[in-house]
């Protein structure tokens, strides 16, 4: 048992009795977790939230009478409870899940289905670990308001054709990226991002960001040239995303490899390539997320002469990744999320 004295109380919300049973049986295998209720629809869940006061909710995105996004927008400001989205990997569910992450959910995991039930112990261990992380998430900023303070657009600070911005994020990162990326000007330095997400979600997320940002956003593909005004989101799945040099050009490369820090794509893998290839012409930030992915890579970027920053604890949903990066010495600055765009752009003016 961890230092927490009482088990983490979990409310399962899903219209599928099979999914509720699979989740409940898995959660009950962990003495640090306790299933306090199971709801088959959002209205039942609302009543249980008031009565049972769970620490974490697992929430299906598509349910009768009210979808998960509407549920979060309606009840998160009143009862901010860390919520994990349980989603299938269809394009429709991916889009709904992304909207849910923007509306206050802290994580998304694949819905257990018969096709993957041959590895139940591993799946249950993963889900239980994510529930424990969610229980410590900072979501108080959703209380009494569903609208966060806008971040001012930052000015372009000169030609930056040889500069690159690299970002890494995980839990809470979808909301963070949606908030800060629209602040960058249309001709900001080329940017490469690793956001931990399931396969298929990054396609929908890049399309969503492209509609919000002045820069052009796309899911990264082999050979993409990194140019000012373009943002490349590392695809979720079986490959890592790195930067390579071809003559005087920076390009995207997708490479095979085992997960690093339990992640693929990995922030560390991207950042280490940025340190080696871009060096002093790089600016990088580690945003909210669980674990330590990106910490070593950020240190290497700083050691190569690049500019580095991490998001501060107060503005993070989960402080894990920024905290480890800071403790390791990789961050020159630690600032609130809303200050990061201007700070990254100012870094290039200083060079």
Clarify whether 152 is annotated catalytic: no
Please state, rounded to an integer, the average pLDDT across all residues of the chain: 89
The secondary structure of residue 319, as a DSSP letter, is -
- List C-alpha distances in Å: 131 to 2, 15, 20, 67: 14, 20, 15, 21
Asked whether the predicted pLDDT for residue 203 surpasses 70, the reply is: yes
Is residue 107 among the annotated active site residues? no
The string of pLDDT tens digits covering residues 217-245 is 999 999 999 999 999 999 998 899 999 99
Percentage of the chain exceeding pLDDT 90: 67
Q: Which of 30, 107, 268, 293 is catalytic?
A: 293
For 184-196, how does the pLDDT look when each residue is reduced to its tens digit (9 = 90+)?
Answer: 999 999 999 999 9
Strand ordering across the sheet containing 282-286: 216-219, 230-233, 190-195, 164-169, 282-286, 307-311, 333-335
pLDDT at position 148 over 50 = no
- What's the pLDDT band for 147 if we cut at 50, 70, 90? very low
Catalytic residue among 30, 156, 196, 204: 196
For residues 125 and 349, give the distance between their C-alpha atoms in angstroms, rounded to a whole number: 47
Contact residues for 131 (Cβ-Cβ < 8 A; gap 6+)? 8, 10, 27, 33, 56, 58, 84
Please, what sign has the CA dihedral across residues 335, 251, 293, 142?
positive
Residue 145 has pLDDT above 50, yes or no: no
The label of the residue with tokens 């399931």 reads 198
Confidence of residue 124 (pLDDT cuts 50, 70, 90): confident
Domains of the chain: 8-142 (3.40.50.2300), 164-350 (3.40.50.180)
Q: Can you say whether residue 221 is alpha, beta or left, with left for phi > 0 and alpha for psi between -120 and 50 degrees?
A: beta
Beta bridge partners of 194: 168
For residue range 281-292, what is the model confidence (pLDDT) as tens digits? 999 999 999 999
What per-residue confidence (pLDDT) applies to 52? Answer: 95
Residue 123 to residue 36: CA distance in whole angstroms:
21
Two tokens, residue 12? 């399962």
293 is catalytic: yes
84/7 Cα distance (integer angstroms)? 17
Instruction: Render pLDDT for 3-37 as a digit per residue (tens, 0 to 9).
Output: 557 999 999 999 999 989 999 999 999 999 999 99
Catalytic residue among 103, 170, 206, 263: 170
Q: Sorting pLDDT into bands at 50, 70 and 90, what band is 119?
A: low
Rounded Cα–Cα distance for residues 6 and 128 (Å): 15
């Amino acid at each position: 048992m961890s230092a927490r004295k009482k088990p983490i109380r979990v409310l399962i919300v899903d219209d599928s009795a099979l999914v509720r049973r699979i989740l409940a049986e898995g959660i009950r295998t962990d003495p640090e977790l306790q299933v306090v209720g199971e709801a088959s629809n959002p209205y039942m869940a609302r009543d249980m939230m008031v009565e049972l006061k769970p620490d974490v909710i697992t929430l299906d995105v598509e349910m009768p009478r009210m979808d998960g996004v509407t549920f979060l927008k309606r009840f998160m400001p009143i009862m901010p409870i860390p919520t994990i989205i349980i989603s299938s990997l269809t394009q429709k569910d991916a889009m709904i899940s992304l909207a849910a992450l923007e509306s206050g959910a802290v994580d998304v995991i694949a819905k257990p289905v018969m096709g993957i039930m041959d590895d139940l112990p591993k799946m249950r261990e993963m889900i239980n670990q994510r529930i424990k992380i969610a229980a410590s998430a900072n979501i108080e900023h959703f209380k009494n308001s569903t609208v966060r303070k806008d971040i001012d657009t930052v000015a372009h600070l000169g030609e930056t054709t040889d500069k690159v911005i690299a970002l890494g994020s995980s839990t809470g990162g979808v909301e963070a990226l949606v908030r800060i990326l629209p602040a960058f000007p249309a001709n900001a330095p080329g940017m490469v991002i690793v956001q931990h997400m399931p396969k298929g979600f990054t396609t929908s997320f890049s399309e969503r960001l492209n509609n919000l940002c002045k820069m052009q956003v796309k899911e990264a593909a082999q050979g993409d040239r990194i140019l000012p005004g373009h943002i490349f989101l590392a695809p979720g799945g079986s490959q890592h995303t790195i930067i390579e040099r071809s003559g005087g050009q920076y390009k995207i490369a997708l490479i095979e490899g085992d997960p690093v820090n339990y992640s693929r794509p990995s922030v560390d893998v991207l950042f280490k390539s940025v340190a080696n290839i871009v060096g002093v012409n790089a600016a990088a930030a580690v945003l909210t997320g669980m674990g330590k992915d990106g910490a070593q890579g950020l240190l290497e970027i700083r050691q190569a002469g690049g500019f580095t920053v991490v998001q501060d604890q107060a503005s993070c949903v989960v402080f894990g990744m920024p905290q480890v990066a800071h403790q390791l010495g990789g961050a020159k600055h630690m600032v609130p999320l809303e200050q990061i765009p201007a700070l990254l752009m100012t870094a290039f003016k200083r060079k």
